[in-house]
Amino acid sequence: MYKIQFFPRERISTIKSFAISLASILLAFLVSGIIFVLTNVDPILAYYSLFKSFTNLALLSESVVRAIPIMLVALGLALAYKANFISVGGEGQIYVGGIIATFIVLWNIQNNIIPEPLFMPITLILVFLGSSIWGIVPAFLKAKFEVNEVLTTLMMNYIAQIISNYLVIGPWKDPKGYGFPQSQAFPQYARFPLIPNTTINSSIFIGLSAALIIYSILAKTKFGFEVKVVGDSYPTAKYAGISYTKVVCIVMAISAGLSGLAGMSILSGVIGRLRPDFSPGYGYTGIIVAWLCNLNPLIIIFGSIFFGGLLVGGEVLQSSMGLSVGVTDVFQALMLIFTLSGEFFKRYRVVWRR
């Protein structure tokens, strides 16, 4: 009889680590391939459609558009996870950001107080701050009353989404919208300008700068050091005199602020108005991206584009082969499962023994 044993590795070579990542991704392809076959779809053709987004410039540009909110959410979550604060609140924070942005837009349409050139900077700041307050709530509850953050952040997602949907079918419904559940369109000054010759809007630069900022916070600052200590060992942080409450509240303020900006980037960058359920689960995709990219802010840039591409590919698949968009979800989930399992093999080595 053979016996499998696992031993912790002290370190792992880059090549091996890369090989394990690659193997995990290939296995994800293999297993989802089986699912394709079971649903009577040619897997080769399916993968071809799924990855078409990376070969075709128009589709690639569309993938980057999808990547922006994913990137912002994933960056915020990565920071929270570094502090071992397991937030799943990105989705709700997207809606909060969207609500605040829409509020300011509608208010300014009526009152016309903020001058046009200042409108976007001011709105960005207010959206960030407003979402931060939303994000501090679960952090504070956790720090002061030990309330589980997974539950609070998850539940708050529903609250935010339902409020947003209520506003759009109720008080904020466009009176001239032929009864459609949507707000008035955002005026031009409330939209992110497009990068010439692409469909990519300029909020991409917010995402890229956020990646650099989060990276620098973690790698270079005192606060980043505190985050790492809190995340690695809560008792050590307490012993070293680092305030847990301060650290998680700031972390969640930043995390939720970025997700709020993600919400605004969807409305001001793509849709141009508030609509019900305007986020197709970017808040949850962000969780996957953050972990897949090993919580590394710079890798998250590419991870988001990859997942943006998968979303676009999924839609191509849907239109060209009549498959449900759910297929992309299955594929995403398999990617997550296999990559996380791959992480296990990066930390342990396997020995087969008789």
Partner 1 sequence: MEKNIIELIDIVKTFPGVVANDHVNFSLKAGEIHALLGENGAGKTTLMNILYGIYRMDSGKIKVDGREVQIRSPRDAIKLGIGMVHQNFKLIPAHTVTENVILGSEGSRLILDVEGAAKEIRSLALNFGLYVDPLAEVWKLSMGERQRVEILKLLYRNVRVMILDEPTTVLTPQEKKELFISLKEMCSRGKSIIFITHKLDEVFEISDRVTVLRRGKNVATKVTRETSKVELANLMIGRPVVFEYVKNPLKPSGIALKVENIRVLDEDGNLKLKDVSFNLRFGEIVGVAGVAGNGQRELAEAITGLRKVYSGKIYVCGKDLTNLSPKKFFENGVLFIPEERLGVGTAPNLSLAENLILKTYDRKPFSNSILLNYKEIQKFSEKLVKDFEILCPSVRVPVKFLSGGNLQKVVLARELGSPVGGDGHVIVAMYPTRGLDVGATEYVRKLLLKMRDEGNAIILFSEDLDEILSLSDRIFVMFEGKIVGEMLSHEADIEKIGLMMAGVMGS
10 binds partner 1, rule: CB under 8 A: yes
Contacts of residue 347, Cβ cutoff 8 Å, sequence gap at least 6: 8, 9
Please say which residue, 218 or 335, places its beta carbon nearer to partner 1. Answer: 218
The amino acid present at 239, given as its one-letter code, is Y
Task: Give the shortest CB-257-to-partner 1 separation in angstroms.
Answer: 19
- What single-letter DSSP state applies at residue 186? P
Please say which residue, 170 or 241, places its beta carbon nearer to partner 1. Answer: 241
Taking the C-alpha atoms of residue 60 and residue 211, their distance in angstroms, rounded to an integer, is: 20
245 binds partner 1, rule: CB under 8 A: no
CA 232 from centre of chain: 23
CA 349 from centre of chain: 31
175 binds partner 1, rule: CB under 8 A: no
Task: Give the shortest CB-243-to-partner 1 separation in angstroms.
Answer: 8
Q: How many other β-carbons are positioned within 10 Å of the β-carbon of residue 162? A: 12
Residue 65's closest CA among 220, 282, 232?
A: 282
Q: From the list 9, 158, 187, 193, which residue makes contact with partner 1 (rule: CB under 8 A)?
A: 9
Task: Give the shortest CB-234-to-partner 1 separation in angstroms.
Answer: 9
Contacts of residue 196, Cβ cutoff 8 Å, sequence gap at least 6: none
Please say which residue, 45 or 240, places its beta carbon nearer to partner 1. Answer: 240
Stretch that binds partner 1, among 100-108, 187-195, 216-224, 267-275 (CB under 8 A): 216-224
Task: Give the shortest CB-9-to-partner 1 separation in angstroms.
Answer: 7
Q: From the list 23, 125, 240, 333, which residue makes contact with partner 1 (rule: CB under 8 A)?
A: 240
> Residue 24 corresponds to which tokens in the numbers above?
């995990």
Cβ(263)–Cβ(101) under 8 Å?
yes
Cβ(256)–Cβ(79) under 8 Å?
no
Contacts of residue 141, Cβ cutoff 8 Å, sequence gap at least 6: 147, 149, 152
Task: Give the shortest CB-260-to-partner 1 separation in angstroms.
Answer: 24
209 binds partner 1, rule: CB under 8 A: no
- What single-letter DSSP state applies at residue 194? B
The amino acid present at 55, given as its one-letter code, is T
By CB under 8 A, the count of residues binding partner 1 is 25
The 218-237 site mask, x for binding partner 1 (CB under 8 A), equals: --xxxxxx--xx--xx-xxx
354 binds partner 1, rule: CB under 8 A: no
Task: Give the shortest CB-246-to-partner 1 separation in angstroms.
Answer: 12
Q: Where on the chain is the footprint of partner 1 (CB under 8 A)? A: 3, 5, 7-10, 220-225, 228-229, 232-233, 235-241, 349, 353
